[in-house]
Amino acid sequence: MRRVLLLGGFGFIGSQIRLLFEQQAGLLTVTAPRSGELNLITASEVAWDSLISGARPDVVVNATGRTTGTNVNLYESNELLVSRLLSSLQRLDMSPWLVQLGSAAEYGVTATARPVGEQDPCNPVSDYGLSKLAATHLILKALNRQTTRGVVLRVFNPVGAGQGENTLPGRAARLLREAQSQGLARVNFGSLAPCRDYLDVRDVACAVLVAVRLGDQASDSAFPAEETNPHVLNVGSGRARSSRELVRCLADLAGFTGKIGEESQGSPRSEVPWQQADVHRLQALGWVPHFTLEEALEDLWNSLPPPPPVLTPAAGKAASASTDKRS
């Protein structure tokens, strides 16, 4: 029985990892408490050491992190937390297999129509990308010093149930749900020209499972030494899709036939016009995506809460009259 300590197991990606791992024979998953119960950023060294020693993990999966906020927020959630994890393992003299979830934002601007590989340079253009790259460097330095073992998964653009509004899919789904319920004729976005490598979050969870099982191997045969960054693996669909195509697909799910405008201010990530993952390394380890973007968007759409009822003027009067009568 392999014991897995999952950090961030109640987040968007972490929840899918937790659900998948709970279905696996031979894995016992210990999920770290929610941040409201144990804040891993501010937790004491004693609390960190107690969490890890109590879990007795063979594997630690770090699915924590945040994509928005101030520079300090991003540094604390994406870099400092990894530093604290590594420090605790060193104090405890433990060396479980680490699976760190990185991000495609670490690459920054990439060449159009050319898949980006793990050996390509990283030049992040957002504070989020900088903080995730700093965390990756911490892991890789520990690997080079042989003070830890593990792998970094550079996750591209996950899509699926429970996705937050800090992402284009999550925000678009919410806006289109509102437009549908309120009878709006127009929904505005920033530029939808950028192309991204979108993939179902359930396929991300499967990639994490593959990465966890790499720790069972007795050698580093999965990480050819002659390759650059051998312990980094891209997780993507291997296909670039325009943001416009993604929003149009959500509009079809919503039954929205109005105008989709592109006049709003875009996010800093729109500075990256095109990204597509080269996923040959991960596929060589037996991973393949099972879900299409359309299936991922349908899962996202179906997970939305129902829209609030829209009261007509007549209904409002009826409600008022009823209230007056009860009083």
Task: Dump pLDDT digits (tens) for 223-240.
Answer: 777 688 899 999 999 999
Domain segments of the chain as ranges: 2-160+198-238+277-290
Residue 131 binned pLDDT confidence (cut-offs 50, 70, 90): very high
Question: What is 2-160+198-238+277-290's CATH number?
Answer: 3.40.50.720
Structure confidence at residue 271 (pLDDT): 81
Distances (CA, A) of 268 to 32, 125, 151, 227: 31, 8, 28, 31
Contact 176, 188 (CB under 8 A): no
Terminal C-alpha separation, the chain: 64
Q: 270-290: buried (b, 16+ CB within 10 Å) or exposed (e) per residue? A: bebebbbbbbebbeeeebebe
Structure confidence at residue 312 (pLDDT): 55
Task: Dump pLDDT digits (tens) for 75-109.
Answer: 999 999 999 999 999 999 999 999 999 999 999 99
Range list of β-strands (E), the chain: 2-7, 27-31, 59-62, 97-103, 149-155, 157-159, 186-188, 195-196, 198-200, 232-235, 241-242, 259-261
Structure confidence at residue 124 (pLDDT): 97
C-beta contacts of 90-94 below 8 A and 24+ residues apart: 90/147, 91/45, 91/49, 92/49, 92/52, 92/53, 94/52, 94/53, 94/57
Structure confidence at residue 23 (pLDDT): 97
* Beta bridge mates, 1: none
Taking the model in full, what pTM does it have? 0.91
What are the phi and psi torsion angles at 179 (to 5°)?
A: -60, -40
